[in-house]
Chain A
Amino acid sequence: MWTLCLQVPLAVMAGKGRGVAAFSFNIDALGIGRGSMPESRVGPNPLFPNTDFKPVPLKAGEDEDYMLALKQEMRGTMQRLPHNIKPHYNKSEVERYTERYLKQRQIEDEEWTPDWNLFPKELMPQKKRPRVKADTKKKTVKISHKDTEEMLSKLDELAKKDDGNPEKSDDETEKKTEGKENEEEDVEEEEYDEEDIEEENDYIDNYFDNGEDFEAGSDENMDGEATY
């Protein structure tokens, strides 16, 4: 609609004649003199400009304190609810130390199932999705996956025990047994674990392909011997 016309005098000023600030029209008619122009810009605005007026202090009273406490409490509670989905990250040593002393209640993962009557069906986690493609092959592969998973967990336990920290391994085994119990009870968790295993499908296959590894190793050794 109506554009800013402050630009106009500046544009007019750009008409470089003999003098730097030469206007092409009679400037007095506008009611402003040549000295009353605002300073020309030399760059972008500063990121944190100085303020002449300091902000008004916050309201402080019983109501505000109560609402502040409510807000912080609510934030803390909502972060502990199962609605709060935490990204998967590896628990490092520091985490386990705190967990020993914080209440156990706060760490237990409450599973939350929404009422599927109110939600679209496609959001349900898939239960035993029938993979029609190759049933028998998948079954055998599944069995070997369960084996590999057990082997991996046993290896982990052994590795942890080797570290020489019996308490940590106790925690690990406790958590693993708890995790397995939850697995058996909850269909959802089982599904997610299966999917995870299935996703890692290709890598585990390659990893446990024993023939190639041994041959590669023996080839290298032989090469080493041959040169000497």
Chain B
Amino acid sequence: MTAQEVRLCGLLLREHYGEVVEKVGTHLLRSGAQNLRTIVHETGMPLDLVKKCLCVLVQHGACVFSLGRKGPGSPTEYQTSCSQILTILRYPRYIYTAKTLYGDTGELIVEELLQRGHMTMSSTVKTVADRLTQNMEDGRSMDYSEVSSSFSKLVETHFLQRCPPLPGAGTTDSTTPAAPSFSDCYKVPHVTLCGRGKRQLSSEDGEDQRNAKKAKLDSDTHGDEGIYWQVNFERFHLHFRDQAIISAVANKLDQTSSEIVRTMLRMSEVTTSPIATCTKPLSANEIFRSLPSNYNIARPILDQYLTLLVDDPMEFVGKAGESGGGMYVVNLHRALANLARATLESVVQERFGSRSARIFRLLLRKRHLEQKQVEDFAMIPAKEAKDMLYTLLSQNLAQLQEIPKTPDYAPSRTFYLYTVNQLPTARMLLQNCFKTVANLIDRRLFEAKENKRLLEKSQRIEAILASLQASGAEPEQLTEVEEMITAPEKQQLEGLRLHINKLDSAENQVDETIFLLESYINSTISVY
């Protein structure tokens, strides 16, 4: 929980859940596990507000609670972790992935679950059907069964999972919440849901309220009470990792090789555990049979492609044996390490120029080099090489290692070797990324605040226009209202929208780098 992470989490909480939740959340992030009384005392906020905030945080999985450490009689403790809150940055990517895999229905299901934290299957299906019906033409509506089948598909492929049961409820053995790998994790409950989505008509307020009340009253049980579903972020991350590997192969080699790697990854989806170093070995015969039908490549060509992939210095694919025409594996961890290395190299290139990048790559390959050797291998004149090395050193991208010849570390009798360590550099760049995103959000909030008056004015004008159009006004009235915004104000608004869109888009794209570096770092944390 570094300072940058906490700052970024605070900003994300503020944007999505409000400042009150931000205050409680950042306090919990900074102080670790605490019980309710301590939180109330240290934040100085009223008890009911703190309770509400904790409810919101637990609902969205940002906070977990467990029995107190001092034994069964002590109050429950609440603990927040950065990783869950930082996934908020990636929500658009999750939703877009669901859309590409399962269409609009899948997209809306994932969106609803992300917004609400966790929900039952029946309520999700109903809400999504209503939303889809809204966008359809008049007279058509979405059937619940279609949405249910999309939901089941998402659960089968493990993109959605059940929420773990309440920890410490009944059993006193485990004080920590059970990992979501319990037996019923991916079992779709038998739900009796039949009906179609309701179109929400723009009726008067009173009628709406009455309808809403009626809906609440007849929320009949559908047989899945108490079973809540949440989005399985790990599964999405595995999917993103596979996508990154496939697109890297496509960029480096060609489309056919990327299709072969995609086939291999698809075949090993279910047999590979999330922390596996490489996929299970697949024989070339199997790969040949499982290739998509529109790729008619001959068997010997496939063998040639596989040999090419194995020989490639990026080491995406490795050969694990000769049986069955050759056994091939996809080296997941090595691929991630190489992708992270490529990211680091490109960062150095974009910040310091291609010659500094050459020195950086040299140091990565040759591990330890003296200054003279760096100049010789990189073929850069001495003075410039020195300058670049010192810049890299001051930015902490390169480190200096002393090897003394004598025990008194005299400078004239010590070797000074430059080196680059990939893992610590990756961690440092990851923190830089967090700082970048936090700065982007800060700047966007600042821009919005600066032009608050203008934004509110344009909002009012739009609302007036909408209401006028709904009540059927003449075009002259519309133009009159439109002219209430002057031309320079329109320009200012346009510029503001452009800036905010750019800042938002930049956040999304920095998140891609964050994902890559995080995956690499997590893969190096060796478990057992």
Known interface pairs A58-B502, A195-B48. Does A74 touch B92 (Cβ–Cβ under 8 Å)? yes
| Residue of B93, B412, B456 ringed by the most chain A CB atoms within 10 A | B412
B16 CB contact (under 8 Å) in A4, A30, A75, A124: A75
B499 interface residue (CB < 8 Å to A): no
Known interface pairs A36-B383, A195-B48. Does A98 touch B508 (Cβ–Cβ under 8 Å)? no
Contact A97–B460 (Cβ < 8 Å)? yes
A9 and B416 CA atoms in complex are apart in Å by: 13
A155 interface residue (CB < 8 Å to B): no
B393 CB contact (under 8 Å) in A6, A36, A123: A6
Contact B96–A5 (Cβ < 8 Å)? no
Chain A residues in 8 Å Cβ range of B281:
none
Contact B402–A125 (Cβ < 8 Å)? no
Over the window 207-222 of chain A, the binary record of Cβ atoms lying under 8 Å from chain B Cβ atoms (1 yes, 0 no) is 0000000000000000
B91 CB contact (under 8 Å) in A3, A64, A71, A81: A71
Chain B residues in 8 Å Cβ range of A102:
459, 463
- Segment of B18-26, B141-149, B301-309 engaged in the interface with chain A: B18-26
B55 CB contact (under 8 Å) in A8, A70, A84, A114: A114
Q: Which residue of B lies closest to A77 (CB)?
A: B115
Contact B400–A75 (Cβ < 8 Å)? no
Contact B226–A71 (Cβ < 8 Å)? no
- Segment of B263-271, B345-353, B358-366, B484-492 engaged in the interface with chain A: B345-353
Q: Which residue of A lies closest to B57 (CB)?
A: A83
Over the window 372-400 of chain B, the binary record of Cβ atoms lying under 8 Å from chain A Cβ atoms (1 yes, 0 no) is 10000000000100110010010000011
Over the window 112-125 of chain A, the binary record of Cβ atoms lying under 8 Å from chain B Cβ atoms (1 yes, 0 no) is 00110111101111
A186 and B399 CA atoms in complex are apart in Å by: 63
Chain A residues in 8 Å Cβ range of B372:
31
B467 interface residue (CB < 8 Å to A): yes
B95 interface residue (CB < 8 Å to A): yes
Contact A68–B456 (Cβ < 8 Å)? no
A68 CB contact (under 8 Å) in B18, B226, B351, B504: B504
Contact B400–A5 (Cβ < 8 Å)? yes
A101 interface residue (CB < 8 Å to B): yes
A29 and B507 CA atoms in complex are apart in Å by: 50
Chain B residues in 8 Å Cβ range of A6:
390, 393, 400
A40 and B400 CA atoms in complex are apart in Å by: 20
The minimal Cβ–Cβ distance linking A171 to chain B, given in whole angstroms, is 13
Chain A residues in 8 Å Cβ range of B410:
25
Q: Which residue of B lies closest to A104 (CB)?
A: B205
Chain A residues in 8 Å Cβ range of B467:
101
A43 and B446 CA atoms in complex are apart in Å by: 29
Interface size bracket, A side = 35 or more
Contact B412–A58 (Cβ < 8 Å)? no
- Segment of A48-56, A130-138, A140-148, A158-166 engaged in the interface with chain B: A48-56
Interface of B is mostly: helix
| Residue of A77, A104, A123 ringed by the most chain B CB atoms within 10 A | A123
The minimal Cβ–Cβ distance linking B75 to chain A, given in whole angstroms, is 7
Contact B352–A87 (Cβ < 8 Å)? no
What total of chain B residues lie within 8 Å of the partner, measured CB to CB? 72
The minimal Cβ–Cβ distance linking A195 to chain B, given in whole angstroms, is 7
B153 interface residue (CB < 8 Å to A): no
Chain A residues in 8 Å Cβ range of B48:
125, 192, 195
Contact B463–A98 (Cβ < 8 Å)? yes
Over the window 1-16 of chain A, the binary record of Cβ atoms lying under 8 Å from chain B Cβ atoms (1 yes, 0 no) is 0111110110010000
A58 and B510 CA atoms in complex are apart in Å by: 10
Chain B residues in 8 Å Cβ range of A114:
55, 58-59
Contact A64–B509 (Cβ < 8 Å)? yes
A58 CB contact (under 8 Å) in B399, B456, B509: B509
Considering only residues 469-521 of chain B, those with a C-beta below 8 Å from chain A are 501-502, 504-509
Known interface pairs A36-B386, A53-B351. Does A71 touch B504 (Cβ–Cβ under 8 Å)? yes
A127 interface residue (CB < 8 Å to B): no
A59 CB contact (under 8 Å) in B54, B60, B509: B509
A72 interface residue (CB < 8 Å to B): yes
The minimal Cβ–Cβ distance linking A227 to chain B, given in whole angstroms, is 48
Contact A5–B52 (Cβ < 8 Å)? no
Contact B400–A123 (Cβ < 8 Å)? no
Contact A66–B352 (Cβ < 8 Å)? no
B56 interface residue (CB < 8 Å to A): yes
A67 CB contact (under 8 Å) in B350, B387, B390, B508: B508
B151 interface residue (CB < 8 Å to A): no
B111 interface residue (CB < 8 Å to A): yes
A78 interface residue (CB < 8 Å to B): yes
A36 and B353 CA atoms in complex are apart in Å by: 22
Q: A6-B393, A83-B117, A101-B460 are in contact. List 11 more A-B contacts (CB 8 A).
A: A29-B412, A31-B371, A67-B92, A71-B504, A75-B16, A83-B17, A83-B116, A94-B456, A101-B467, A117-B166, A123-B36
Q: Which residues of A contact B (CB under 8 A)?
A: 2-6, 8-9, 12, 25-26, 29-32, 36, 38, 51-53, 55-56, 58-60, 63-64, 66-68, 70-72, 74-75, 77-79, 81, 83-87, 94, 97-98, 101-102, 104-105, 114-115, 117-120, 122-125, 192, 195
Which 9 interchain pairs have the tightest Cβ spacing?
Answer: A101-B463, A29-B412, A70-B92, A67-B92, A71-B92, A85-B20, A78-B16, A84-B18, A85-B18
